[in-house]
Amino acid sequence: MKALRNYLDKIKPNFEEGGKLAMFRSVFEGVETFLFVPSTTSKSGVHIHDYIDSKRTMTVVIIALLPALLFGMYNVGYQHNLAVGADPGFLMTFIFGFLAVLPKIIVSYVVGLGIEFAVAQVKKEEIQEGFLVSGILIPMIVPIDTPLWMIAVATAFAVVFAKEVFGGTGYNVFNVALVTRAFLFFAYPAAMSGDQVFVRTADTFGMGAGQVVDGFSGATPLGQVAIAGKEMIGSFQAVDVLGQPISTWDMFLGLIPGSIGETSVLAILIGAVILLYTGIASWKTMVSVFVGGAFMAAIFNMIGTTVAMCVSPLDHLFVGGFAFGAVFMATDPVTSARTETGKYIYGFLVGAMAIIIRALNPGYPEGMMLAILLMNVFAPLIDYYVVEANINRRINRVKLNK
């Protein structure tokens, strides 16, 4: 690391004002501060100093995402093996998934960071770090068979129109990764839903897989719920790609069809522990999402007239992107509520709205994405009324003491 530090110090004058590469100063600073903690300190005014900055915060979030990402890679290979009737072993299963997911991560980062680098150069500002997390979230919340060009287009749209036009990192109203997913869903619905996009059946990498087995269906549990008729109330059972019943334990472990990083609740909970232990995410928001979802699912269970209404609260929390959204999306400090009381309200409404959308809209059985985006809009309003309530309470307390 010392050799790298010395090399950066050697070439740094080329990127400073007057240097031959001064036009790329923000790019150099972005790379330098990513590799090393900045040594600059404030010269005047009152400041709070801490060892952690936004880059370190983003790094912790990425570390928290790794369990879900790595499991998602394995699950991609596992679902492929089930579909084609093969069993090449753990390592080859993981390698298949790794090779399938890696291009999506590369495309996401190249497009997103490319736009952010370009904007920073035009504005002559430092490169912002927010896309370090968004860049890995985007490939984790899409089906495995999403074409790379679609991911590129959607990422570019989200970075420009959901982030940069608002002023960049820290100013965006909507979660950038979810805007990417929403763009894909509404612009290319056939590539985002159905029973063919969540399981890769083609032997893309020439690993000697067999042919697709008879009766194969890659529909997710929520997709199966959406098309189940009323006559199946009380008898509905979600099945895997081979038609075998999926248990609640299977949903918890994540060996089921779904978006790349959203299937394993166990891996997501490991990430949640990391975020809570480091203080990056708010437990108030996170827990409230689960409480709101369970509460609304229980209400629908009591009045249920469709299969979607009769899904148990626990199964609702385990399937689809509910757990992933509660841990990594709803807790986004930029787009969620910031007041302590507001976090409870915001989280509860996110969870409740997700279940409402799932139960009442069979055309979009997931629900979590739209619920979080909707509550992103109302987060400032929630904070406003919480602050106003606090002010009025203090005013009334002062009046009573006179």
Q: List own/partner pairs for 398-401 with CB under 8 A and 24 or more apart.
A: none
Q: Per DSSP, which regions of 181-276 are E strands? A: none
Per residue in 94-122, pLDDT (tens digit) is 999 999 999 999 999 999 988 888 887 77
H or E segment to which residue 323 belongs: helix 322-324
Q: What is the pLDDT of residue 243?
A: 85
The residue ranges of the chain whose pLDDT is under 70 are 1, 21-24, 26-27, 30-53, 129, 205-210, 213-215, 402
Beta bridge partners of 239: 245
Q: What's the angle, vertex CA 275, arms to CA 271 and CA 277, rounded to 5? A: 115
In the DSSP assignment, the letter for residue 20 is T
| 3-state helix vs strand vs coil in the chain, percent to 5 | 65, 0, 35
Q: Is 223 left (phi over 0), alpha (psi -120 to 50) or beta?
A: alpha
Q: If we measure between CA atoms, which residue out of 292, 330, 341, 25 comes closest to residue 177?
A: 330
H or E segment to which residue 380 belongs: helix 368-401
Distances (CA, A) of 138 to 10, 246, 289: 36, 27, 21
Q: Using CA atoms, how far apart are residues 359 and 310, in angstroms rounded to an integer?
A: 9
- The answer to whether 199 and 79 have CB atoms below 8 angstroms apart is yes
Beta bridge partners of 245: 239
Q: Using CA atoms, how far apart are residues 314 and 312, in angstroms rounded to an integer?
A: 5
Dihedral of the CA atoms 163, 165, 168, 173 (nearest 10)? -50
- The answer to whether 354 and 322 have CB atoms below 8 angstroms apart is yes
**Alpha-carbon dihedral sign for residues 289, 264, 357, 136:** positive
Q: If we measure between CA atoms, which residue out of 370, 378, 248 comes closest to residue 321?
A: 370
- The answer to whether 357 and 364 have CB atoms below 8 angstroms apart is yes
H or E segment to which residue 36 belongs: none
Give backbone dihedrals phi and psi of 239, rounded to 5 degrees, phi first: -130, 160
Distances (CA, A) of 214 to 44, 198, 231, 241, 388: 72, 17, 26, 10, 62
Dihedral of the CA atoms 191, 181, 212, 249 (nearest 10)? -140
In 10 A of CB 387, how many CB atoms? 14
Using N-to-C axis directions, what is the helix angle for 131-140 and 148-161, rounded to 10°? 140
Q: Using CA atoms, how far apart are residues 154 and 157, in angstroms rounded to an integer?
A: 5
Q: What is the pLDDT of residue 8?
A: 74
- Helix or strand or coil: residue 264? coil
- With tokens 């893309």, the residue in question is 204
In the DSSP assignment, the letter for residue 244 is P
H-type helices in 124-195, by residue range? 131-140, 148-161, 176-187
> What contacts 44, CB < 8 A, 6 or more positions away?
none
Per residue in 267-286, pLDDT (tens digit) is 999 999 999 999 999 999 99
